[in-house]
Structures are given as C-alpha cells and as structure tokens.
Amino acid sequence: MSSAAIPGSPRRAFYPPIHCYNEGTLEVSETHKLYYEQSGNPTGKPVVYLHGGPGGGTSAGDRCYFDPAVYRIVLFDQRGAGKSTPPACLEQNTTWDLVQDIEKLRTHLGIDKWVVFGGSWGSTLALAYAETHPDRVKALVLRGIFTLRRKELVFFYQEGADMIYADHFEKYKNEIPEGERGDLISAYYRRLTHPDKNVQMKAAKVWATWECATSKLFIDQEMLAKAENDDWAVKFARIECHYFVNGGFFNSDTYLLDNVDKIRHIPTTIVQGRYDIVCPMNTAWELHKRFPEADFHIVPDAGHSAKEPGITALLLEATDKYRDL
C-alpha cells in the first residue's frame, strides 16, 4: 500500500509529557549495563522505542509518540549511549550485540511480543531485530529508513549531501587535513578513537554538528546547540562512526534488504521525508518495493527528523492504528 501526504502536511500534537513509572539497569555483558525505563500503562500493550545514532540515546520526549492509556512504553539506551554504562564504549558493541540486548530486555520485563518503533539508525536496528526474531514483533513503525549500505554512508559523509549543504559540509570536511579527505569516515574514526580526549572531543563536535545541521528541512538551532554538549557529542560520534567503519557488522552490504521476506507478514508502517538528506528516500523506496505489504508514506515537506510536523502526524497515526492489534 502506498500513499503520500499532500503539500502542507497535517499537524498533530504529541501525546502529553509523562513520567516513567519504572527505571532500571540490565547487565547484558561483563562490560555493559543498559539503562531502561517504562511509562504509560503498566498492563498495556508493550512497545519498545529504538533510538537513533547509534549512540543518540533516549529522552523523555520519546515517550510521547504513544497513547499512554494504551501502551506500556519501553525505552532503553543502547550500549555506550545515554545513561547506559560504560559511556561511549566501543568494545562488545555491534548490531548483533544490540539485537541480543533487545531480547534480553524483553525477557527481563516478561513481555511476549511487542510493537517495535525506530527511526534512522533505529529503523536499521528494528529491521535487524525483526528479521532475527519475527515471532516477537507485533508490528513495526519505521521512519527515515537506513540500511547502512556503503552507498548510503558515502552519500552523506563523503560526497552527495555536500551538493545541498555545501556550507555545512565544508566545516565538516575542513576538520580533516587534505591528504586524508579521500575517506572522511575513516579519518574521523582515527580521531574519535585517539588516546587524547581533547582530540576526540574536537572531532566529535564537528561530526555531530554536521548531522544536526542537516536533520530538518529547515535548520534547527536547538539541534545545532545539542552538538555542543560534550557528553552527548562524544557518545554519538564515537559509537556512530564505529558502526560505520565496520559496515554495521552485517555480512553483506544489502543484508537487511535481502532478508525482508522474513518480516513481510508483520504489520508495518514506513514514514519517509522526501527531502531527507541524512537517510535519502531511495533506501525507503527500495524497502517499499521489497515489502509492498507495508503502509508506505512519503512526506513531501519534510527532511529527516521525527519532529517535523508531517512525519510526526504519520508516526502518531501509526501507533494509534496498532493500538488495536
């Protein structure tokens, strides 16, 4: 099923802010402990929110995509991100570690099946999890589709996005000496893993600023300010770059698309901004062609962010729809 919003996408308010009723930590390895929280209805329908980045962490606002009277809302910070410890740790930190972590958390919380919600890197992880454990997924809500193929990374971090955001890309590129600019991701990785924390911090802020500058159709100064937060920027940039230099730890470049048949029976909604530069819509379009059963929405006046009005409205519509499963 395919549909597209008309120009001037409808607006809809988020569900009101709520407090979590339960917080905890879950030891998932000898190294890592995950922070998790639950909010909404303790006896409601379980939904798990998978944050972006990787490394982005969760926030209180992430609870507001879900009807709190209906959903038992589970948020957690992935390895090294947010309140999980140790912070910004790259050891034992792969896609498949995170897939196992989601299962450990589900079991720990006594949940049989849940709705899985993820955008950007969260969509990557949601697809990886669902393709591995399709029997545990009641529905998928995916936004800003990212399958971590090499061409997706090259477009945003090497050449492609610079055609549109030349001014911001120049600041990102100029952080790296000219002789290393043939592979900017690897050049940043060397700095983000440098033993000198000051070198890490300097590179992290520039890396994070590049993504924050391009995440909305119209540049959001609040998002740019977020990249100046030392703690957030280091976690975000280090973990993200770690996954990218390792190709997402997939055994083939098209792994997620090649395994879509495993999940085509799962009720799914895909929401994609037409002018998404971070995760361009050709990836969402390829997923749509391989997964025609999913509800597919192109938002004509949006970029990458879930907080752009047209995207927000469709995400809320999707979570409302799956209340009845």
- Dist CA 101 CA 266 (whole Å): 21
Q: Residue 226 and residue 207: Cα distance in Å, rounded?
A: 12
Q: Say whether 62 is catalytic.
A: no
Look up 215 and say whether it is catalytic. Answer: no
Of 62, 67, 101, 276, catalytic: 276
Given 84, 120, 215, 305, the catalytic residue: 120
108: annotated active-site residue = no
Q: Which of 204, 179, 178, 180 lies closest to 193 in space, CA to CA?
A: 204
The active-site residue out of 32, 295, 304, 305 is 304
Q: Which two tokens stand for residue 270?
A: 């895909």
Measure Cα distances from 309 to 273, 282, 322 in Å: 11, 21, 20
**Do the beta carbons of residue 137 and residue 129 sit within 8 Å?**
yes
Active-site residue list: 120, 276, 304
